[in-house]
Structure 1
């Protein structure tokens, strides 16, 4: 575990996920929405460490309290979970001091941009917007689309080959980075992966993370092209969200702001936009 200080903000780093879990737990509990991505990624990394080689976990302290979390889990972008620009810049300076080469950074816009600007200024590089995302929560019970045939069910082991194909198609369509191997086996065995079933045939899927700080993140929403136009994805999201709310969990999801159809799908279910995040590419001049 290593530490560094900048302008009264102490930034620490570890490669041990268990150590980070101990440090980050209170911060996740205090602000579960902004730290949802960190919490769910850490849970996956602890469960399947071989799928997260080279992972590094950062946290910042001010006045002795943990105020922000960040992580580097290649090939995913470096993730900064803060809107405090001073803290984001301190984390960036620590990353530079560590000699870590960051090609992409993601997080809420304010923090991610401050981090990227610091890296770009120090390296003489450039910043490019890769993806813009909207962060949405569900303030009330979801609206279920009417007249959609079929029903929600837990994914089965026999569904895994199909879900793996869908997951790879999802990554290609959205331009999302992920580990080489998807933890579908674990997700299915725990009941976290759900499909919409029509006459015995899966037509859409989604994943609901285990809750962290009472927040479950809805992701991996996908219907293959031949099944689109029937509201299967909307029905899946609505049904999964209803299950999470009945269990007492708050629902959170991200949408591609450059895909209006995606945003309309979630708004139709009842999700509201509560913040903006982004992924930025960094070209460093050495």
Structure 2
């Protein structure tokens, strides 16, 4: 089956929506990105027009200047997608490991460019929420408009710690504030940690942007913020709560497993040097 490529999110969801919703946990990023594009417009992630594609066995989304996000798919479909995207200014892809490898191998054959693995992430799904013991001091609250500057500053620092160049940080914060999607953990009235959550999509929500500034670390605040935002998602009716952790960070991976999250899938990001 050939790949269908479009710049219309509605056309993409008409063609790929059932495929994505059938496995909302594994397709969490594609679902939440397309939902944000529908809610906030095509320029929310950058000036370039988004590109979408679907196949009988897979789907992808690209929001320039970022690379493409690929779903699980057979290696042959990944190689066919590389052929379909050859000639574009694709800077990289993010996908389950075998998918990334198949795409990168075909991309190298077509372009002569060797991909470089720049990140490995592990997807977790909540099984049963287990609050940290002992509990951190303080309490969580939903962030509001008055917290915008603080959140933008923390998101910028968070992206830089991940080795990323901050992009669309204000847009990300504004989107989350629009639906109460950011939580601040406060101790003695001072914000000390944050956590975010996506809009529901097919009964799934994703915890994201869990960050504690360096001066507030090692006090249990990240676990407390993650627990609070997870509980809020469950209370709001989420069927599945998921999150990603950098595989190179044993602290966060151990924390999420203590809170009741279990590994589901590993993904890797490959960049293609220009």
TM-score by length of 2: 0.92
CA distance in 2, matches of 1:235, 1:206: 10
Is the deviation greater in 260-269 or in 181-190?
181-190
3-state SS, counterpart of residue 277 of structure 1:
strand
1: CA distance between counterparts of 2:68 and 2:241?
24
Query: Which of 247, 250, 270 is residue 240 of structure 2 equivalent to?
Result: 250
Q: Normalising by structure 1, report the TM-score.
A: 0.89
Q: How many residues align?
A: 269
CA positional deviation for 1:178:
6.2
1:49 Cα deviation from its structure 2 partner = 2.1
Residue in structure 2 matching 1:116, options 82, 95, 104: 104
Q: Is the Cα–Cα contact under 8 Å of residues 138 and 250 in structure 1 kept in the other structure?
A: yes
Query: Tell me, which stretches of 5 or more residues in structure 1 are unaligned?
Result: 1-8, 62-66
1:151-187 C-alpha deviation (Å, 9 max, x unpaired): 1110011111000000001111113466434332231
Equivalence for 1:40: 32
Aligned match of 1:270 in 255, 260, 274? Answer: 260
Q: Which residue of 2 aligns with 1:161?
A: 149
1:142 and 2:130 matched: yes
Structure 1 residues 22, 142: CA separation in 2 closer, same or farther (over 3 Å shift)? farther
Q: Is the 8 A contact 1:82 1:88 kept in 2?
A: no
Deviations 1:8-39 (A, max 9, x none): x2101111122222222211211112211111
Q: Secondary structure at the match of 1:182?
A: helix
CA distance 1:19–1:114, shift in 2 (3 Å): same
For 1:4, the equivalent position in structure 2 comes to: none
The answer on whether the counterparts of 1:28 and 1:212 sit within 8 Å (CA) in structure 2 is no
Could you tell me how far apart the structure 1 residues matched to 2:18 and 2:166 are?
27
Q: How far is the alpha carbon of 1:141 from its aligned partner?
A: 2.3
Q: 1:217 to 1:177 in 2, by over 3 A?
A: farther
- Distance in 1 of aligned mates of 2:239 and 2:199: 9
Q: What is the 5 A alignment of 1:77-226?
A: 77-96=67-86, 99-176=87-164, 179-180=167-168, 181-226=170-215
Q: Which moved more, 1:32-41 or 1:161-170?
A: 32-41
Residues 78 and 182 of structure 1: is their aligned pair in 2 closer, same or farther, counting only changes over 3 Å?
A: same
List gaps (5 residues or longer) in structure 2. none
- Please identify runs of 4+ aligned residues in structure 1 that moved more than 6 A: none
Following superposition, the deviation at residue 197 of structure 1 comes to 1.5
CA change 1:162–1:187 in 2 (3 A) is: same
